[in-house]
Amino acid sequence: GLENGQVVDRVETCESVSRALAANTQWNQVLELARSPHLKTILSNTTESGYDLNAADTANCAPPKSFPAKLLAVLRERFKAGQPGLMIIPCELRENNAELLRSILVKIAHEWKLDAAFIAWMEKSCSWHNTLVDRIVTGTPDQHPLLAQDPMLAVCEPYALFAIQEVPGIKRWIDHPAVIWTNDVLPFFLRKVRILNGGHSGMVHKAMAKGYTIVRDSVNDKELGPWLEKLLYTEIVPILEGRCDDPKGFAGQVIERFKNPFIDHKLTDILINHENKIKVRLIPSQEEFVKKFGTRPANLDEVLVK
């Protein structure tokens, strides 16, 4: 993509992954890791539907099916081993994601009638950090010279932002140009989810109906491009003014990012879990627009028609 006006096409080697464990087949090893004194942080990214629960999960499942229940089991194992609390850094695109995830785990713990001391440890000894991640990553390319030696190759844009909400008493554990430490991650969340993700989910059906398969071609369409600009600039940006930093400028950046000539962002990927996504990405903007201006947002209404 473009970075500071220059074309960027570089390969970065990820050297931080030492191994992978599959919970369904290696659950005992996962629990062994939970007991390790070397474990400090749990970072998750299970998508917007990742916090959904499974009614079949119980305290005796090995492993439970849902992500929240798995995490609860891991923390419970660590507590029983007498190890200190962990730093929990969820990256799912949910408002106040850490607070939400913690509340879900506490709810499950009470339903399972787990020990009160464990629940208190989980709430107080673990630090729960709300976050916002903003980077378009399109996964493994169909063709690339390095695919033969690295089947897990992934493509992403140069732009990156990782906003982490600070927790009193917890030191900043990473220093990176793309990382922003803040006392409130919500403005970053609103700006990104409503504009970038809202733009994606707002245009996806219209673009596919026109026969497009990737975002770039859709945005460059002579009809769909202006439609997207109207959606962002006249229906979404106005309800974000004063709630986040420069939503209009960010919308302009987003449109340019959508046009990235190096990123083939598939519309079918955006369409995954669409009904759950629009509850966060589009419906709140529609409702807030009506409440603020007393009129209907035409483009939002068009894509959210029942």
Query: C-alpha 31: how far from its chain's center?
Result: 25
Strands (E), the chain: 2-3, 6-7, 41-44, 87-90, 127-128, 131-134, 137-139, 155-156, 161-165, 179-182
Kindly list the distances between the CA atom of residue 54 and the CA atoms of 3, 57, 59, 69, 70, in Å, as whole numbers in the listed order: 43, 6, 12, 8, 11
Cα separation, 159 vs 135, whole angstroms: 6
* Structure-token pair, residue 103: 């509340």
Cα separation, 138 vs 213, whole angstroms: 13
Which of 79, 99, 129 corresponds to the end of one domain? 129
Q: Report the CATH number that the domain containing residue 213 is assigned in CATH.
A: 1.10.1040.10
Which of 129, 154, 174 corresponds to the end of one domain? 129
Each residue of 237-256: pLDDT tens digit?
Answer: 999 999 999 999 999 999 99
Cα separation, 267 vs 260, whole angstroms: 15
Quote the pTM value. 0.90
Q: Are residues 287 and 153 both part of a single domain?
A: yes
Residue 15 lies in a domain: no
Q: Are residues 242 and 184 both part of a single domain?
A: yes
Q: What percent of the chain has pLDDT over 90?
A: 88
Average pLDDT in the chain? 95
* Structure-token pair, residue 98: 């850490």
For position 93, what pLDDT does the model report? 92
Domain that holds residue 263: 133-303
Q: Report the CATH number that the domain containing residue 121 is assigned in CATH.
A: 3.40.50.720
Confidence of residue 306 (pLDDT cuts 50, 70, 90): low
Number of domains the chain is built from:
2
For position 305, what pLDDT does the model report? 84
Each residue of 53-89: pLDDT tens digit?
Answer: 999 999 999 999 999 999 999 999 999 999 999 999 9
Which of 129, 147, 179 corresponds to the end of one domain? 129
Other C-beta atoms lying within 10 Å of the C-beta of residue 208: 15
